[in-house]
Homo-oligomer: A and B are copies of this chain.
């Protein structure tokens, strides 16, 4: 597959993910309209739809039914989005901008932003639960249950939220941040939702156990690489391209892979993690080459 074909495929997958995510958004009406608007504003702030794209790609690799995996694509993006809405709050990161637009609290107030985040997280489950009505066999129902359980565990206190908790805690005690804690934070905060993207589609498509295991491992690598790349961009990036402030980590004296190991080691780490992921994906029972290219493309990203 040549470079152009990969770009075209990626663009098509992103457009498809975008339309699926939009199709599950609620109508802005009724007494709770402000909350519904805040939810949609947050989700429609854009982004690369990386997580639903990954879910779509793996679901397709294993021939999962669209009616089963599409609700999960939307649910996963809602979970990712709610975490950004709450992260941006004055009580947390106090970021007024996100992806070049005002963050949700800056538009709707921090009270509505707290509640809109809650609404999005809950709506993610409402959305994912609709998949049950499209499960036609006991096997499909069982797969939806497993997919839901993974979605939930990757999002919660033993997943993404666990990483956020440790991250907030470490901000107050930078002197205690060592590589083990940093890896924990990055694995939980970033790799867990990437893991949902890598594995939920495979579960819904009935992938063999060995493939599921390899996808978990590859997701961990890609998630860590993605986070280290984020740290690199915070040092080397262009604010206009990124659509967010840069140099923030350093200004706050925040421990990152870059601050602990330096820029060159960080770049090498991203490469090593991605290479290992590519190797894992090359041994799946199905063709994982597009997923591997997608993973690799994260290394070269500028935003």
| Contacts from A to B (Cβ < 8 Å) | 26, 30-32, 34-36, 39, 82-83, 86, 89-92, 110-119, 121-123, 125-126, 129, 132, 138, 141, 145, 148-149, 152-153, 155-158, 161-166, 168-169, 181, 184-185, 188
Contact = CB atoms under 8 A, between A and B. Distances in A.
Contact of A119 (B36, B115, B119, B157): B157
- Interface of chain A: mostly helix, strand, loop or mixed: helix
A30 to B, nearest CB: 7
Number of copies: 2
A223 B116 CA distance: 23
A129 B114 contact: no
B123 A125 contact: no
Contacts of A116: 165
B91 A122 contact: no
A159 to B, nearest CB: 8
Nearest to A166: B31
A230 to B, nearest CB: 19
A149 B123 CA distance: 11
Contacts of A149: 126, 129, 132
A86 B118 contact: yes
